[in-house]
């Protein structure tokens, strides 16, 4: 089977700023815990909800060995039955 591929990267760089008198990890990195527990899952869910509007594209996760805290890869596959591909 012949297959073509292309990549698109959407990267998030997380930063937390603290006052000058902040003394290290006093908050136990709660800002990062909130990202992992709330924000990131909501973003991923929103992406999949958007992709559901395009039934000729099938979306699924792919793991290339990186931790989910560092990378989430979403694979989109165009259906071979789509007339645009024939």
Reduced to 3 states (helix: H, G, I; strand: E, B; else coil), residue 25 is: coil
Residue 21: inside a domain: no
**Quick one: which H or E segment has residue 62?**
strand 57-62
Residue 44: inside a domain: yes
Residue 42: inside a domain: yes
Q: Rounded to whole angstroms, how far apart are CA atoms 61 and 74?
A: 5
Supply the pTM of this predicted model: 0.80
Residue 19: inside a domain: no
Domain containing 72 equals 30-78
For 81, half-sphere exposure in the C-beta direction (CA atoms, 13 angstrom radius) is 3
Q: What is the pLDDT of residues 24-73, one digit of tens each?
A: 777 889 999 999 999 999 999 999 999 999 999 999 999 888 999 999 99
Residue 7: inside a domain: no
Residue 16: inside a domain: no
In 3D, which of 42, 80, 79 has the Cα closest to residue 59? 79
Any residues with CB less than 8 A from the CB of 62 and at least 6 apart, and which? 73, 74, 75
Residue 86: inside a domain: no
Q: How many domains does the chain have?
A: 1
């Amino acid at each position: 089977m012949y297959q073509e591929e292309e990549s698109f990267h959407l990267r998030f760089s997380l930063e937390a700023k603290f006052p000058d008198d902040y003394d290290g990890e006093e908050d136990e990195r709660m800002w990062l815990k909130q990202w992992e527990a709330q924000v990131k899952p909501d973003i991923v869910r929103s992406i999949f909800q958007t992709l559901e509007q395009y039934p000729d594209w099938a979306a699924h996760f792919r793991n290339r060995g990186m931790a989910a805290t560092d990378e989430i890869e979403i694979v989109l596959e165009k259906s071979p039955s789509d007339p645009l591909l024939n």
